[in-house]
Amino acid sequence: MRNKDIALHGLAVLVGGLLATGATAQTEMASAVPTPQRDFLVFADKGGHLSPTAASTVRTAAAEAGSARVTLIGRPENVAPVKAELQRHGVAAKAIVVKTEAALPVARTADGLSSPADRKVEIKF
């Protein structure tokens, strides 16, 4: 009977060790998966102003970004109001990286307004 108890105890230790190893491996795998990147896209109005909808989107991005590094991609005149709005809603200036697109001439559409592609600002974190 004593040998049977020792064998059962050894089996329990072995199974417990395997379970613990499996849990550790799952934890290590979970920490190796990068945090998903968030992307927002807003369009500035003529003159680089933000519409109420665009400003709302920037506020949502600021709330979700928290203290994360935020990258803005767009034309300088459109990035400036987005950066200012992010800062107004708690994103530190040092956490914002600006990548400006080439300052090519703004293409005009048939109605004389600039193309939305020229007014877009990408917010990534």
pLDDT at residue 108, rounded to an integer: 65
Q: Cα dihedral angle (50, 52, 53, 58), rounded to 10 degrees?
A: 60
Question: In order along the chain (125 residues), what is the average pLDDT of each group of 10 residues?
Answer: 52 49 53 74 88 96 96 93 97 96 66 75 96
pLDDT at residue 79, rounded to an integer: 95
Asked if 89 and 68 count as a contact pair (C-beta separation under 8 A), the reply is no
pLDDT at residue 101, rounded to an integer: 78
Class of the CATH domain delimited by 39-124: alpha beta
Asked if 81 and 48 count as a contact pair (C-beta separation under 8 A), the reply is yes
Domain ranges of the chain: 1-33, 39-124
pTM as predicted: 0.67
pLDDT at residue 35, rounded to an integer: 62
pLDDT at residue 1, rounded to an integer: 54
